[in-house]
Structure 1
Amino acid sequence: MNTSADQSYHFNVMRRAIDVIDAGGPGMSLETMAAEMGMSAAHFQRLFSTWAGVSPKRYQQYLTLGHAKALLSQRHTTLEAADAAGLSGTGRLHDLFLRWEAMSPGEFARQGANLTIYWGWFDSPFGPALVMGTDRGICGIGFAAEAGAKATMADLTARWPKAQFIEDAARLRPWAQTAFQAGASEAPPLYLIGAPFQIKVWEALLQIPSGHVTTYGQIAKAIGHPKAVRAVGTAVGRNPISLLIPCHRALRKSGGLGGYHWGLPVKRGILAWESARAEA
């Protein structure tokens, strides 16, 4: 099994490849792609196949902007049907066995006062990841590939300004390793820290199966606020637990990717990775 450090290295290769693919277009050959990356075709294909489960040429299709529209028109599920759409399958970390609880509104209003949050940096399939957690579960995951480590740390700590933050990677390592391990049989516990409306939106996101997407409008309908599309978009963007609460699976009605708090290259990479893993 690959280590998370291996996966992080592969993602750094993929980040460079996104730029190469965007510049070269869908007709670029494997040999040309590898040459642009400064690698042999065989080495480049081996790295990509190990990380994504499919060949670079196949993965290239998932990275195109049109792939999001294809997902939306062909493979998305309504949230009402999500439970019957495959959540009982095996090996889907982000859809199975998620144990979560939410901070009470009163606790949230205190902005983390009397709350101890532990943090640590870990390698992930999508670059360096900052993981935060309380004694009850993971409360934050941020990706630093685009934003940088300093900005990622400032972003997450600012969400709970009165909390006490303690660096303790060893405490969080079992949860982090499970979170970033493809095909894990269980997921780490989550501790949702947010306003009641935000938590409703995040709960809806948890219903979207891996390899599927939905729209902000469908999420708004699912939580009983069909006209609150813009507010839903804001809540999606404020999701503190990236990947495990899959805000990357929320798209605009047009099929556009919309924004992503940790950078669109990361969102594209995650969606492509999930589709490739589903195929593999």
Structure 2
Amino acid sequence: MFDEQAPLDERARAYDRMAKALEWLGETWPDWPDLEAAACSVGLSPHHFQREFTRWAGISPKQYQGALAHGAAGDMLRAGASVLDAALETGLSGPGRLHDLFIAHEGLTPGEAKAGGKGAELVIGRAPTPFGLGAWLIGPRGLVALGFIDEGAPARTGFAHQGRGEADAFADLAARYPGASIRHDDGEAERFASRVFEAGEPLPVCLYGTPFRRQVWRALLEIPAGETRTYGALAGRIAAPKAARAVGAAVGGNPVSWFIPCHRALAADGRLHNYHWGIARKRAMLVYERAHRA
């Protein structure tokens, strides 16, 4: 669980450095680099890095390295390696514990979904998350959409997979619900973020989508934290084995990032690709989950 003294906005500000640290540790963990080398990779002192990483992730850098080793050993064992070989290759240590949020989800009627939220009164605002500044879209029945803001990102036109400033992130979410009435209220977004990320309250999610898409999103929720599935595997899970492409489109159309975990869906070859809010953020989400998995 997070250190109670690590406010959510502090974790949001630390996200960029922590994403770089996660990538660096993910590449170098087999060599078990020490704390000083890890801190140097993001330009911090060892003391500052240890404190910031632990407050952001809820586990220490050493525990995170252990979690990576644990995951790699599991892969080796499933591939037929002996316990001794797996231990010698990875130098196992235990991972941190996972603090999960529970998600209650409900769908709209077919008419509401088809109308793009027509008549709905929604609130949009910015508020921190562990993965940077979030763009929150909230309705009377719960969270409608969550995206991410990359401050300092240039204004973009058309579709882009990463680097949206506030105006672009808000426009991205609002465009998904053209029939809704949307007002801006950062305070409401901050209260909502605090409830789910700091108080750990159950998160109501209002899924505006077709029945097929909601079925895919429910299948995403069934993937254990820290694990991944291919689009083909998801298609098989919903008894539509020939619909991998349609499943991919539904995953890409998921409006509620992180909580409806589209970051757990991968291409058939296992690549991280085409994440709407940036590959670095998808990588950070996956390794964050793996580090916390019991």
Considering the TM-score relative to the shorter chain, is it more than 0.5?
yes
Structure 1: runs of 5+ lacking an equivalent: 75-88
| Other-structure match for 1:82 | none
Shift of 1:189: 0.8
Residue pair 1:118, 1:132 contacting (<8 A) in 2 also? yes
Shift of 1:90: 8.5
**In the alignment, structure 1 residue 267 sits paired with structure 2 residue 260:** no
Q: What is the rounded CA distance, in whole Å, between the counterparts of 1:177 and 1:117 in structure 2?
A: 19
Shift of 1:122: 0.5
Question: Which amino acid is the alignment partner of residue 165 of structure 1?
Answer: I
Q: What is the rounded CA distance, in whole Å, between the counterparts of 1:171 and 1:47 in structure 2?
A: 27
Distance change >3 Å, CA 58–CA 255, structure 1 → 2 = farther
**In the alignment, structure 1 residue 144 sits paired with structure 2 residue 154:** no
| Other-structure match for 1:162 | 179
Q: What is the rounded CA distance, in whole Å, between the counterparts of 1:23 and 1:225 in structure 2?
A: 36
Residue deviations 1:43-71, cap 9 Å, x none?
1122112222333355468789x97x959
**Larger RCO (CA within 8 A; separation ≥ 6):** 1
Q: What is the rounded CA distance, in whole Å, between the counterparts of 1:244 and 1:13 in structure 2?
A: 22
Q: Which has the larger radius of gyration?
A: 2
| Other-structure match for 1:11 | 15
Distance change >3 Å, CA 54–CA 22, structure 1 → 2 = closer
Map 1:103-114 onto structure 2 (within 5 A): 103-114=108-119
Map 1:104-143 onto structure 2 (within 5 A): 104-143=109-148
Q: What is the rounded CA distance, in whole Å, between the counterparts of 2:148 and 2:17 in structure 1?
A: 16
Q: Which of 43, 49, 54 is matched with 2:54 structurally?
A: 49
SS in 2 for 1:132: strand
- Identical aligned residues as a percent: 38
Distance change >3 Å, CA 178–CA 193, structure 1 → 2 = same
Residue pair 1:112, 1:163 contacting (<8 A) in 2 also? yes
Shift of 1:209: 2.4
Residue pair 2:264, 2:286 contacting (<8 A) in 1 also? yes
Residue pair 1:208, 1:214 contacting (<8 A) in 2 also? yes
Residue pair 1:63, 1:269 contacting (<8 A) in 2 also? no
Question: Which amino acid is the alignment partner of residue 248 of structure 2?
Answer: G
Map 1:57-96 onto structure 2 (within 5 A): 59=64, 70=75, 91-93=99-101, 96=102
Q: How many residues align?
A: 257
- Tell me which moved more, 190-199 or 162-171: 162-171
Q: What is the rounded CA distance, in whole Å, between the counterparts of 2:67 and 2:271 in structure 1?
A: 14
Q: What is the rounded CA distance, in whole Å, between the counterparts of 2:9 and 2:257 in structure 1?
A: 19
| Other-structure match for 1:37 | 42
| Other-structure match for 1:217 | 232
Structure 2: runs of 5+ lacking an equivalent: 80-96, 151-162
Q: What is the rounded CA distance, in whole Å, between the counterparts of 1:60 and 1:150 in structure 2?
A: 37
Distance change >3 Å, CA 20–CA 213, structure 1 → 2 = closer
Shift of 1:266: 0.4
SS in 1 for 2:293: helix
Residue pair 1:192, 1:199 contacting (<8 A) in 2 also? yes
Residue pair 1:130, 1:144 contacting (<8 A) in 2 also? yes
| Other-structure match for 1:257 | 272
